[in-house]
Chain A
Amino acid sequence: MSEELNKELYRTESRWQEGEYTVTRTSVWTAPGCHNGCGVLLYSKNGKLEKIEGDPNAPFNRGRLCLRCINMIEQVYSSERLKWPLKRVGEKGENKWQRITWDEAYDIIENKYNEIKDNHGVESIVSLVGTGRNSMWQPAVITRAIFGSPNLSFGFLSGDSCYQPRMTANLIKLGDCVISDCSQAHPLREKNPEWEKPEVIVVWGNNPLVSNGDGFIGHWLVDMMRLGTKLIVIDPALTWLAAKADIWLRVRPGSDAALAMAFLNVIINEDLYDHDFVETWTYGFDDLVERVQEYSPEKVADITWIPKEQIIEAARMYAKAKPAAIQWGLAVDMQMAAMEASSAITDLMAMTGNIDVPGGNIIQRYAYNRSKKYGSAIEYISEEMLLKRIGTYESPIHESGYTPFIPPDKLLECLETGRPYPVQMLWLQGTNPIANMAGEAPRVYAAMKKVPFCVAVDLFMTPSAVAFADVILPAAMSVERDSFRAWWTPLRSITKGAELYEQCKSDEEIVLDLGKRIRPDRFSQYNNIKEYLDQLLQEDGGVDYDFDTLVEKVNDFWDWDYTYKKYEKGMLRKDEQPGFVTPTGLYEFTSPLFDVWGFDMLPKHIEPVEGPYTTPELMREYPFVLTTGNRLWGCFHSEHRQMPTMREVHPDPMMDINPKAADKLGINEGDWVWLENRRGRCKQKARFNVGLDPRVVRGEHGWWFPEKEGAEPTLFGVFDSNINNLTTMGVHGPTHYGAPYKSTICKVYKVTEENDRVSPTEIVTRRGGFSYAKK
């Protein structure tokens, strides 16, 4: 863990020769792969990557890698990779393409851009981005700085329900974002004399060993456990971490806000809160005290299906531990009450005095304020053009700029109705929406088909590219690019360790190429990528060195990030006064902003729109609560399905069911079963899971089958096992954030020859969708 390394074995330069191998010491930040930027050693020969290892001197991952990185070579040199730009020659969906040059591709795009600008307005160009990786800020720049459109969307992720609710709740209540402090922000890691080990970590709604989400690597939890940290795990499923926890709370999906309120109830009523912090640094405590009385452990036990004794025990354990951290995840976002749950959980951190203390939840910003992830490029958009953002003015939090995206649910309405204006062009970069993030995927498929022109930038041919694209641009992978990562700390180099595959280009190159053609006033000054990266590193008070220097450094920690109690030291506010970046200058249990926007000032529980307490009559036909989105070792979202090794690890889509529930339905482990509700159905393979509540089933997301025919009606089988045939769009929480991806309902029954004559994909692509969904 923190033992000394033999420097002769583990070198600290950025590049060296080792026999016939050139070794590049850097980090990878996908695509392909997850959110994190793990330190790696890239071994290449004649420009070709031959081996990849974890970098033992990388403070972030300390030599450890997961399957997705270890298997990188298979991905980089997969024969399935896109090799050169393609132009559609058949009808959309026929999967017929013609190889073209980059110049030809850019000509098509530029001509279409000019035509749209002259005839419809640039606002009718909409970009879709995928999850938080190094292919997210580039489409923001392309959309807003180059095309001039304000319309950037988080795919069709209903309710922006991936980190946006948690971040926004953090930003509203304390003006910054917090993450669990495993001493990852300090170069000395656990040897930092100021740091203290968390006595308890609450792992709330995520499985970070598999997912490594939101800049947090799951290994840090194992490191903390080795030091003696105890875990409370809140998860509907018995994960490895839950099995090792002191307390596992098997929560009913979608009831996390109620659980957090019950924690607050116990902590307040048993006087376990941090009086000093609450009295000195917070606003609205008395109102919260009154609200939490509505959430007694007895009442919340009924809501969450967790015994009240366990709720009380867990709340006491968390509150009495000094320090304690909460490591939260996507399940908090993927429910109707996402903003409310996020707010209540943030209140727990504040109530117990664990914000920005060693071993608590530390306030983090991008290293040196280099915003390379959810970068919005909004500063390029005029006030007049901002008014044309689709759907934004129906969501005051979006309107105010807390989220750089337009609301995805409103974008779907726009595509379906043509209001406020028809969308003329879609730009898809690093996203495969109908296979992955789009709720109610068949509905999104039909809506996207209406858009006349579409460009996809990707690594592989995808169902979304086949169904919608006119031009496809092949993107470079992380190991083929020069770039950098600043999402939390340290600032990390991303250095090219292999020559570009065929004619692929990096996302940064595509930005510069298009920028020079369409907006030379903004991009002609950059002669190459390094000059552009220099600018991004140095502008607005960034670092005082260039990209080549960062390459040499590999990692650079920012002391701001590892300073504790920044709110006491005047390090948060622009006026340099102590306090938080909020209207009151304090941590806000009741939020004036929520009030002004017309929302409840305090957190509360909201029942899912479908479920045992809201639609008991529907539960007779659809008796299971359906949760989705659990992470896989071998695949990241819809990626990796082309990789033989990954498919060997995880060949089929799996649904989890308690064996007692399966037995009643005559389902054996390994049977193919249908999961079905009022919106559609999909088929997955049954896997018994004794840890799952018999009233809950779990389905995997992201499944499509590159081995199947790409042309419609087969379309790589994208709807055959697609759990988003059953999820929703337009069913978000009152703040427009959060959607019930993890808390809808379904029935389960065996697949038979008789009930499987027409595939779901053919039903969607050729028969207008599931007939019962139209009723």
Chain B
Amino acid sequence: MCSNNKGGFVPPDASKLVVRCPVCKTFNSPKNLKCKKCGEAMLKKEE
């Protein structure tokens, strides 16, 4: 989230909004269980 004590113009952390397929490097939504392009299972990012 943008926040007012860390600079309102600094965007949210994009690494939480988009993840790369470990095989074909396609960008996917973190909600995807499989890569939309190659079907590889997406690794769940550790919190």
Contacts and interface: CB of A to CB of B under 8 A. Distances in A.
Contacts of B8: 366, 371, 373-376, 404
A5 interface: no
Nearest to A581: B11
A593 B5 contact: no
B37 to A, nearest CB: 11
Interface string A153-187: 00000000000000100011001110000000000
A371 B10 CA distance: 10
B9 A583 contact: no
Interface of A: 137, 140-141, 167, 171-172, 175-177, 364-366, 369, 371-379, 400-404, 539-540, 581-583, 592-593, 595-596
Which secondary structure dominates where chain A touches chain B? loop
Given A172-B11, A596-B28, A371 B5 contact: yes
22 contacts: A140-B4, A171-B11, A364-B9, A365-B7, A365-B9, A366-B8, A371-B3, A371-B4, A371-B7, A377-B4, A378-B2, A378-B4, A400-B12, A401-B2, A540-B5, A540-B6, A581-B10, A583-B14, A583-B18, A583-B20, A596-B27, A596-B29
Nearest to B14: A583
Interface in B1-47: 1-12, 14-15, 17-18, 20, 27-29
B12 A401 contact: yes
B11 to A, nearest CB: 4
Nearest to A379: B3
Contacts of A176: 9-10
Contacts of A167: 9
B26 to A, nearest CB: 9
The 3 closest A-B pairs by CB, nearest first: A375-B4, A592-B27, A401-B1
B18 A592 contact: yes
Nearest to A535: B5
Contacts of A369: 6-7, 10
Contacts of B10: 176, 365, 369, 581
Contacts of B29: 596
B4 A376 contact: yes
B1 A378 contact: yes
A175 B15 CA distance: 12
Contacts of A177: 9
Contacts of B1: 376, 378-379, 401
A374 B18 contact: no
Contact of A400 (B4, B15, B17): B17
Given A176-B10, A374-B4, A379-B3, 9 more contacts: A137-B4, A371-B3, A371-B8, A376-B1, A378-B3, A379-B5, A403-B2, A581-B11, A583-B15
Nearest to B30: A596
Contacts of A374: 2, 4, 8-9
A85 to B, nearest CB: 27
A377 B8 CA distance: 9
A585 to B, nearest CB: 10
Contacts of A583: 14-15, 17-18, 20, 27
A282 to B, nearest CB: 16
A511 to B, nearest CB: 12
B47 to A, nearest CB: 13
Nearest to B11: A171
B1 to A, nearest CB: 4
Given A401-B12, A583-B27, A596-B27, A539 B5 contact: yes
A71 B41 CA distance: 65
Contacts of A175: 11, 14
A403 to B, nearest CB: 8
A369 B6 CA distance: 6
B8 to A, nearest CB: 4
Contact of A366 (B7, B18, B27): B7
A140 B4 CA distance: 9
A582 B15 CA distance: 8
A503 B3 CA distance: 33
B2 A402 contact: yes
Contacts of B18: 583, 592-593, 596
B7 to A, nearest CB: 4
Nearest to B9: A177
Contacts of A141: 4
A773 to B, nearest CB: 36
A436 B14 CA distance: 35
Nearest to A170: B9
A141 B8 CA distance: 13
Nearest to A177: B9
Contacts of B20: 583
B9 A582 contact: no
Contacts of B9: 167, 171, 176-177, 364-366, 371, 374
A689 to B, nearest CB: 36
Counting chain A CB atoms within 10 Å of each CB, the highest count among B4, B11, B12 belongs to: B4
Given A592-B18, A595-B27, A596-B27, A376 B11 contact: no
Nearest to B17: A400
A393 to B, nearest CB: 13
A373 to B, nearest CB: 6
A401 B11 CA distance: 8
Task: Tell which of A369, A372, A582 has the most Cβ of chain B within 10 Å.
Answer: A369
Nearest to B29: A596
A465 B23 CA distance: 59
Nearest to A592: B27
Nearest to A585: B14
A374 B7 CA distance: 9
Specify which of A167, A540, A596 lies most central, judged by the most chain B CB atoms within 10 Å of its CB: A596
Nearest to B6: A540
A566 B39 CA distance: 38
Given A583-B27, A592-B27, A593-B17, A376 B3 contact: yes
Contacts of B5: 371, 375, 379, 539-540
A410 to B, nearest CB: 18
B35 to A, nearest CB: 12
A268 B15 CA distance: 31
B33 to A, nearest CB: 14
Contacts of A372: 4
A176 B5 CA distance: 16
A140 B5 CA distance: 12
